């Protein structure tokens, strides 16, 4: 549709519920969908997965999803690697002869935000919320505010209404389409018995940014080894025995505490 056709359809209530759209967001041949005041956040659980969580987010490995509300003067803090499902501000009420396709705004890619393309079926109605997944693939914390322009929506008028309009139950779960399996993670007892190399690999495999942490821990281990070798050499030579022992003791304690805190906290994230 062109801008004129979009405005006529919007005023006629063929696309959105009246009062939920803004004519300022009509462009040459598209409408800009904005971030609303709610978003769904997948929350890690202690066991199992909820089919409802997978169906509404497409993300496995979570027990449930929490819907959060954001005020006008607040923002959503999106951490590196985090994904949320944003509710758009507009309330759909699509006619049976209209179809819409959405594409992310290019400016979001410049901020390393991965926003999914999507579509709106004919008949998508007021009882349904249009959600869009947003993932922060940068190494920065990004703040998202309600009203943020997210998607360009292109609306197409079909030659006739579809025989069967949108039904919520027609949505399929990823389980029906994509096979996947959980990564076997070591428990606390296994972690305590792991060699240094094994702990480093566990950090790398478990979290975003794990390589950085693994390198930091590896550097600590290298420095500890150098101190140990220097201390042992000093003891063998009979010189600076007390100094060598004190240095060795301090480094062993520091490394043990730092390594334990980093590895355990990272694996539990």
pLDDT tens per residue across span 112-147: 899 999 999 999 987 788 999 999 998 889 999 999
The pTM (predicted TM-score) of the whole model is 0.63
Task: Average the pLDDT over 74-89 and give the result.
Answer: 91
Interval 47-54 mean pLDDT: 44
Tell me what the pLDDT averaged over the chain comes to.
77
What is the arithmetic mean of pLDDT over 224-235?
A: 69
d(CA 177, CA 122): 23
Q: How large a percentage of the chain has pLDDT more than 90?
A: 40
Q: Which two tokens stand for residue 245?
A: 């022992």
240: pLDDT strictly greater than 60: no
For 212, phi and psi rounded to 5 degrees?
-65, -45
110 pLDDT band (50/70/90 cuts)?
confident
Amino acid 94: pLDDT: 92
Query: Positive or negative CA dihedral for 86, 91, 97, 100?
Result: negative
Residue 39 · residue 85 · CB < 8 Å: yes
**Per-residue pLDDT at 157 exceeds 90:** yes
């Amino acid at each position: 549709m062109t801008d004129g056709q979009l405005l006529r359809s919007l005023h006629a209530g063929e696309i959105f519920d009246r009062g939920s759209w803004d004519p300022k967001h009509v462009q040459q041949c598209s409408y800009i969908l904005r971030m609303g005041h709610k978003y769904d956040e997948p929350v890690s659980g202690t066991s199992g997965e909820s089919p409802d969580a997978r169906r509404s987010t497409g993300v496995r490995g979570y027990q449930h999803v929490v819907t959060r509300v954001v005020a006008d003067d607040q923002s959503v803090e999106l951490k590196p690697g985090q994904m949320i499902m944003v509710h758009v501000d507009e309330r759909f009420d699509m006619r049976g002869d209209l179809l819409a396709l959405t594409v992310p705004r290019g400016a979001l890619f410049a901020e390393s935000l991965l926003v999914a393309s999507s579509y709106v079926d004919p008949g998508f109605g007021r009882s349904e919320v249009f959600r869009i997944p947003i993932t922060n693939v940068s190494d920065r914390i990004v703040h998202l505010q309600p009203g943020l322009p997210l998607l360009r929506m292109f609306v197409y008028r079909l030659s006739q209404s579809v025989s069967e309009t949108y039904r919520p139950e027609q949505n399929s779960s990823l389980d029906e389409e994509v096979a996947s399996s959980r990564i076997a993670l070591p428990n606390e007892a296994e972690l305590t018995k792991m060699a240094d190399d094994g702990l480093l690999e566990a950090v790398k495999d478990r979290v975003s940014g794990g390589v950085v942490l693994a390198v930091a821990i590896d550097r600590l281990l290298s420095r500890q080894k150098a101190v140990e070798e220097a201390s042992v050499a000093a003891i063998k030579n009979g010189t600076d025995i007390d100094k060598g022992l004190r240095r060795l003791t301090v480094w062993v304690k520091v490394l043990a505490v730092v390594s334990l805190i980093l590895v355990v906290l990272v694996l539990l994230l």
